[in-house]
């Protein structure tokens, strides 16, 4: 039981490049989330998926897209990376009240 | 939007000391959660509080759900070096989907 698995763990992009962050959970959770964490800002919700087949914007969705590929997988895509998207990204999943997090992806956009 | 304010933002303490931190909101919430984030890792749940006034312990950690449902406190007794990390409070915003709101965190550093 691996919980929530994110890949990659680290990534450096040039401005304008695109990439997809992958996330998978093996806990059969319905809800999945993408957060970004910046110093002094806590965790801010980018997008979430309440259940398979649905996605909704969170607090800071601009510049991102998501895909809920199936119940297990929820990917986050940056179409044209910007330096402001330098951050640590966390995928999470939940079934009831408690949310479980992945280990994070540290993304740097230069 | 809804915000959770945590204090203090950071603290240095000596090993063996007790630690207190709190989280406040201008809105009422029905569930409060406390998470800890170790360096380079994702947050991990410490304690969940479901009822106003509830006091819950997990080892050296004790958390309380404020009676007004607008605040919560986390206490750590007899701190040890592995307590270092960032502590986040979180609430569920409700509305049928589990949208969580996180505080800005309290960074704890323990001096041996």
Residue B99's pLDDT is what?
A: 77
Region B63-87 average pLDDT = 95
CB A60 within 8 A of CB A45: yes
pLDDT in tens, B28-66: 998 999 999 998 899 999 999 999 999 999 999 999 999
Chain B interface includes A31 (CB < 8 A): yes
Of A59, A97, A104, the CB nearest to B92: A97
Smallest Cβ–Cβ distance between A48 and the set B90, B99, B102 belongs to B99
- Dihedral angle, C-alpha B102, A49, B44, A60, nearest 10 °: -40
Asked if residue B106 lies in contact with residue B21, where contact means CB atoms within 8 angstroms, the answer is yes
Q: Are A52 and A30 in contact (CB under 8 A)?
A: yes
Residue A75 tokens, joined:
């990917």
Lowest mean pLDDT among A2-16, B16-30, B61-75, B96-110: B96-110
């Amino acid at each position: 039981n691996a919980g929530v698995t994110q890949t990659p763990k680290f990534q450096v992009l040039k401005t304008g490049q695109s990439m997809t962050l992958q996330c998978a959970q093996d806990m059969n959770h319905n809800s999945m989330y993408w957060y970004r964490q910046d110093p002094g800002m806590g965790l801010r919700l980018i997008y979430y998926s309440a259940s398979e087949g649905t996605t909704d914007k969170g607090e800071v969705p601009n510049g991102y897209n998501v895909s809920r590929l199936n119940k297990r997988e929820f990917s986050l895509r940056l179409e044209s990376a910007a330096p402001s998207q330098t951050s640590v990204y966390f995928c999470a999943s939940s079934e009831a009240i408690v949310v479980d997090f992945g280990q994070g992806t540290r993304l740097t956009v230069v | 939007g809804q915000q959770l304010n945590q204090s203090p933002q950071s603290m240095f303490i000596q090993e063996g000391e007790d630690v207190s931190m709190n989280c406040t909101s201008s809105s009422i919430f029905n569930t409060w959660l406390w998470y800890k984030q170790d360096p380079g890792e994702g947050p991990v749940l410490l304690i969940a509080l479901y009822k106003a006034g509830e006091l819950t312990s997990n080892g050296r950690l004790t958390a309380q759900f404020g009676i007004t449902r607008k605040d919560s406190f986390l206490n750590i007794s007899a701190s040890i070096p592995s307590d270092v990390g960032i502590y986040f409070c979180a609430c569920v915003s409700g509305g049928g989907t589990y949208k969580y709101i996180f505080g800005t965190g309290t960074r704890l550093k323990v001096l041996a």
